[in-house]
Structure 1
Amino acid sequence: MRWMVWLLVAFAVAVGLALLMRFNHGNVAILWPPYRVEISVNLALALMVAAFAALHLVLVGTARALGLPQRVRDYRLRRQQEAAVGALRDSVLAFFEGRHARVERHALVARGSSVTAAPAALLAARSAQRMQEQSRRDRWLQEAQSDAGAGNALLMTQAELAVEDRRTQEAIEIVERMHARGARHIVSLRTALRAYEQAERWEEVLHTLRLVEKRDALHPAAVRRLRDRAYGELVARKAGDPTALRELWRALRADERALPELAAQTAAALADAGAADDARKIVEQALDAGFAESLPATYARIGGLALRDRLERLEGWRGRYGDEPALLLALG
């Protein structure tokens, strides 16, 4: 439709010029002594238009000829980038297919462009890790450092690979560097959690676990298992020191002190350390809040309380929670 409009405009302009020239009878005199040339105004206008068109064509042709090498370079660069993007796509697909050798082959092509070089190198590094090719993995990681924009992606990859190789201290240093830069996202927290667990740094495990739990980044069962283990290790380290055990218990959040597993571990350790009153108080508060099978057995082994008073408390919980086997066993 557009070309028809332009065609009509061209016809209208042609008709207008024809009418203008028909009624224009003037002449143009060109004096170049000893010569004198006279031509009609219409011919002079036509010659001027033709000269302008010829000059325009010459200038455009010259500019195109001078710019041809640059256009050739741009074309080759565009083709190279298109090939690199296609290779990166094939590399991603091969990675998820589990064809890690093919990932590296495609990455060799993808690194031909600065846009795709770093992502391809990181993907190839992960594939080399899967094939236990540590030297090639390190070369790919070194190559990925050329792209400043891939900083966090490079650190995240290095941290995860370090955790897989159980290079625990290196993984912790990388993750803490990321967190210092503000990259405290779910995957980095999970990686930090694994690294702290490998290093048996249980205080950091508990702290990181709280952040992970807040973001629902782990299954609740996994959170409970890891929290029980971390807290149990801390209790074991402070066994025999009632002051340290009290400080550890007070350092927990209120919702954590309400967990029966943690209460049972703390009470048992306090009882063994000779702080029976503190141990008994912890268990009584936990059983008043809710029932757990580990609590009655722990309560029964705590000394320092008259048998009659202990039985009365157990009977009171039995009346509240029913004939639970753990309560019946504690009652004897």
Structure 2
Amino acid sequence: MLRVLAILALAVAITMAVQYNPGYVVVVYPPYRAELSLSLVIVMLLAVFFLAYGLLRLGAHTLNLPDEVHAFKQERQREKARSAMSEAVAEFAAGHYDKAENFAVSAIELGEDAEVNALIAARCAHQLKAFDRRDAYLAQVDKTCSDYPDTGMAG
């Protein structure tokens, strides 16, 4: 409400200032000549400024659009991976080892904490007595941990 009153007061003040402004601008481009009121020229210059500013902002936003789309897609993939990991943990806790293993594998493929999800999948495969899959998941954990020798997790 206060903003509306401030805008209306500003509009009234500008109208009163423009009404009593006797200045004019003469634009000459032979053979043409144009006389414009100073108030109209000021309004036109402001309009041109804001139009140019808007076009520059639109151009900058358009140039940044591919990066924003890429960031959006990456964030959406991270959300899917987090969701798959939380579903894997929930299904594992519920004792649904086949579903938990599938969710853990999905989370690994989406790039979410490969070590943790591989351990969940290995534990699920062990509970399902699929020892070959369990060993493959554990080998994946061992390979991932051996890539980071300073963590003390390898060997």
Same fold (TM over 0.5): yes
Deviations 1:44-68 (A, max 9, x none): 1111121122212222222233333
1:97 to 2:74 alignment: no
Residues 30, 67 of structure 1: alpha-carbon distance in 2 compared, 3 angstrom cutoff: same
Which one is further off, 116-125 or 36-45? 116-125
Residue 20 of structure 1, CA deviation:
1.9
Deviations 1:211-240 (A, max 9, x none): xxxxxxxxxxxxxxxxxxxxxxxxxxxxxx
Q: Is the Cα contact below 8 Å between 2:84 and 2:107 reproduced in 1?
A: yes
Residue 7 of structure 1, CA deviation:
2.6
Q: Measure, in 1, the Cα distance between the counterparts of 2:114 and 2:64.
A: 29
Residue 112 of structure 1, CA deviation:
4.4
Pick one of 127, 130, 155 that aligns with 1:130. 127
Matches for 1:129-168 after TM superposition, within 5 Å? 129-144=126-141, 145=144, 155=153
Q: Is the Cα contact below 8 Å between 1:24 and 1:42 reproduced in 2?
A: yes
Q: Which has the larger radius of gyration?
A: 1
Pick one of 45, 49, 54 that aligns with 2:46. 49
Q: Is the Cα contact below 8 Å between 1:111 and 1:121 reproduced in 2?
A: yes
Q: Report the count of equivalent residues.
A: 150
The one-letter code matched in structure 2 to 1:133 is A
Residue 138 of structure 1, CA deviation:
3.5
Residue 5 of structure 1, CA deviation:
3.7
Residue 26 of structure 2 aligns to a residue in which SS? strand
Residue 21 of structure 2 aligns to a residue in which SS? coil
Match of 2:63 in 1: 66
Q: Is the Cα contact below 8 Å between 2:121 and 2:134 reproduced in 1?
A: yes
List, as ranges, runs of 4+ consecutive aligned residues in structure 1 with deviation greater than 4 Å: none
Q: CA RMSD in A?
A: 2.7
Match of 1:88 in 2: 85
Q: Measure, in 2, the Cα distance between the counterparts of 1:112 and 1:14.
A: 60
Residue 34 of structure 2 aligns to a residue in which SS? strand
Q: Measure, in 2, the Cα distance between the counterparts of 1:17 and 1:142.
A: 76
1:25 to 2:25 alignment: no
Residue 143 of structure 1, CA deviation:
4.0
Higher strand share: 2
The one-letter code matched in structure 1 to 2:56 is L
Residue 111 of structure 1 aligns to a residue in which SS? helix
Residue 42 of structure 1, CA deviation:
1.0
Structure 2: where are the runs of 5+ without partners? none
Residues 17, 108 of structure 1: alpha-carbon distance in 2 compared, 3 angstrom cutoff: farther
Q: Measure, in 1, the Cα distance between the counterparts of 2:35 and 2:81.
A: 66
Q: Measure, in 1, the Cα distance between the counterparts of 2:4 and 2:140.
A: 57
Residue 119 of structure 1 aligns to a residue in which SS? helix
Q: Is the Cα contact below 8 Å between 2:81 and 2:111 reproduced in 1?
A: no
**Greater relative contact order (Cα 8 A, min sep 6): structure 1 or 2?**
2
Q: Is the Cα contact below 8 Å between 1:83 and 1:109 reproduced in 2?
A: no
Residue 34 of structure 1, CA deviation:
4.1
The one-letter code matched in structure 2 to 1:23 is Y
Residue 132 of structure 1 aligns to a residue in which SS? coil
Residue 103 of structure 1, CA deviation:
1.2
Q: Measure, in 2, the Cα distance between the counterparts of 1:6 and 1:98.
A: 59
Structure 1: where are the runs of 5+ without partners? 156-173, 178-332
Q: Measure, in 2, the Cα distance between the counterparts of 1:99 and 1:115.
A: 21
Residues 37, 87 of structure 1: alpha-carbon distance in 2 compared, 3 angstrom cutoff: same
Match of 1:40 in 2: 37
Q: Measure, in 2, the Cα distance between the counterparts of 1:81 and 1:67.
A: 21
How much identity, in percent, do the aligned residues show?
Answer: 31
1:111 to 2:97 alignment: no
1:75 to 2:42 alignment: no
Residues 65, 101 of structure 1: alpha-carbon distance in 2 compared, 3 angstrom cutoff: same
